């Protein structure tokens, strides 16, 4: 709390106080936002510095050692390319998150949910097959459409399905279910993968928060996917929740008011 105390003086008498005005202001939200901004800057700096350090290190090595054999040179160049791609993904996600948070809207169109899902399914199916993961899906109505931005809807499916495949061991399953529940449309994306510890569930939608930092970087995560998904859902007046048990799997549940959808 911010507390200000202003004395009230007797008229024309600066040395006689007859009372006080106390102003108590709740600045919890303001401090919270300031802390979030500080954390965000610190996290962005760290996330950018790591690949940049790697890139500059290997470039310096290549410059100082002209006689490096072709195999080693190509390996170094491969690492530089990989780290550059990581930087691009990170910057793209930061810009997208900023764009969504400002509630700036791209072109609005009538988007068929099933068609967008199938695009994502085709994009991620090769990755799933490489781990022998079966991605099943069930739509109660394949004609469900929404007035929104196609890329945003695609981002929801892509982030959740890609994460499910990344954090599910080989020979397991991932599922997607879309249906109406009273006045809401429900999208579920689940798996029987590694699960999320209880103490981490409340924080997984925070920017750059990773349950397992080493594993997340290994599989190419930027730490912003779930934050982006949450903000897109929020812009649709919806909610996103997660049910998870360590070692048993996770289920993300998105609920969007049916008023936003057209049939």
The fold of 109-262 is: Heat Shock Protein 90 (3.30.565)
Residues 113 and 135: their CA atoms lie apart, in Å, by: 17
pTM, two decimals, is: 0.69
Q: Which CATH architecture has domain 28-101?
A: Orthogonal Bundle (1.10)
Kindly state the average pLDDT of the residues 207-212: 71
Q: State how far the alpha carbon of 25 is from the alpha carbons of 3, 31, 34, in Å.
A: 6, 12, 16
Looking at residue 118, its pLDDT comes to 94
Q: How many CA atoms lie within 13 A of 198 on its CB side?
A: 0
Residues 60 and 76: their CA atoms lie apart, in Å, by: 11
The backbone torsions φ and ψ at residue 141, rounded to the nearest 5 degrees and listed phi first, read -155, 115
| Burial classification of residue 158, based on how many CB atoms lie within 10 Å of its CB (0-12 exposed, 13-18 middle, 19 or more buried) | buried
Residues 259 and 247: their CA atoms lie apart, in Å, by: 37
* Averaged confidence pLDDT in the chain: 83
Looking at residue 103, its pLDDT comes to 63
Q: pLDDT by residue (tens digit) across 53-95?
A: 888 888 888 888 878 888 888 888 988 888 888 788 788 777 7
Looking at residue 63, its pLDDT comes to 84
What does the buried/exposed string (b/e) look like for 51-82 if buried means 16 or more CB atoms within 10 Å of the residue's CB?
Answer: beebbeebeeeeeeeeeeeeeebeebeeebee
Greater model confidence, 259 or 184: 184
Kindly state the average pLDDT of the residues 189-198: 88
- Domain ranges, ordered by start, for the chain: 28-101, 109-262
Q: What are the respective helix, strand and coil percentages of the chain, to the nearest 5?
A: 50, 25, 25
Q: How confident is the model at residue 33 (pLDDT cuts 50, 70, 90)?
A: confident
Looking at residue 231, its pLDDT comes to 87
Q: pLDDT by residue (tens digit) across 131-155?
A: 999 999 999 988 888 877 888 888 8
Q: pLDDT by residue (tens digit) across 163-175?
A: 899 888 899 999 9
């Amino acid at each position: 709390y911010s507390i200000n105390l202003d004395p009230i003086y007797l008229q024309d008498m600066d040395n006689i106080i007859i009372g006080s005005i106390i102003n108590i202001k709740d600045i919890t939200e303001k401090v919270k936002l300031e802390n979030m901004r500080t954390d965000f800057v610190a996290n962005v700096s760290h996330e950018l510095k790591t690949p940049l350090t790697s890139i500059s290190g290997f470039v310096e090595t290549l410059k100082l050692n002209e006689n490096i054999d072709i195999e080693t040179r190509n390996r170094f160049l491969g690492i530089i390319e990989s780290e550059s791609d990581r930087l691009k993904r990170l910057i793209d996600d930061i810009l997208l998150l900023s764009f969504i948070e400002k509630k700036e809207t791209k072109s609005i169109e009538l988007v068929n949910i099933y068609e967008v899902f199938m695009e994502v399914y085709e994009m991620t199916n090769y990755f799933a097959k490489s781990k022998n993961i079966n991605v099943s899906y069930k739509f109660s109505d394949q004609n469900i459409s929404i007035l929104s931005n196609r890329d945003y809807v695609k981002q929801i499916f892509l982030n959740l399905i890609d994460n499910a495949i990344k954090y599910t061991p080989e020979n397991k399953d991932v599922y997607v279910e879309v249906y109406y529940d009273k006045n809401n449309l429900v999208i579920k994306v689940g798996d029987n993968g590694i699960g999320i510890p209880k103490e981490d569930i409340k924080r997984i939608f925070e920017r750059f928060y990773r349950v397992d930092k080493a594993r997340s970087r290994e599989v190419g995560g930027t730490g912003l996917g779930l934050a982006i998904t949450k903000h897109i859902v929020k812009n649709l007046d919806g909610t996103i929740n997660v049910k998870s048990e360590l070692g048993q799997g996770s289920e993300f549940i998105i609920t969007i008011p049916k008023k936003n959808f057209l049939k």
